[in-house]
Amino acid sequence: MKKTGSVILGCLIISCWLVISSSSHATDSEGTIGYAQERYKPAPVYNGPVRSGKQVYDYACKTCHDRTTQGAPLPDDEIEWGMRARKGMKVLMQHVREGYKDLMPEKGGCRNCSEEELLASVLYILETSGVEPIYLGKTQALD
């Protein structure tokens, strides 16, 4: 009985030490606790060459679209992307630029992407899904 009590006490002391030591490092972190904080951080500066649709997808879009996070369609889902494409590129690009409801952040999470790069990423996803972009009307502008 004494031995069991000593083992339990030893485990309790080690557990307390681990909790205390791990919490002291938590304040040193400069990260965020998730999307709610991340969306208000300043966008990192990007001064490199224009990124391709695949590069933008790999950098930002796949965070949600490779996992169907909150209903984000996978890039090869012809049905889901077809439904979105039928709304027209103007609407699709507006959703990318401004975010969609509270599900997709502004610029799809690529806050340092140019308009050209955002368009390239949408065209990349549509292409990998086997969906043609639809421009409603003869002169539908993307802005």
Q: What is the residue extent of each domain of the chain? A: 50-128
Model confidence pLDDT, tens digit, residues 80-124: 999 999 999 999 999 999 999 888 889 998 999 999 999 999 999
Assigned fold of 50-128: Cytochrome Bc1 Complex; Chain D, domain 2 (1.10.760)
Q: What is the pLDDT of residue 27?
A: 43
87/76 Cα distance (integer angstroms): 18
- pTM as predicted: 0.69
Model confidence pLDDT, tens digit, residues 31-88: 555 556 666 777 788 899 999 999 999 999 998 899 877 888 998 999 999 999 999 9
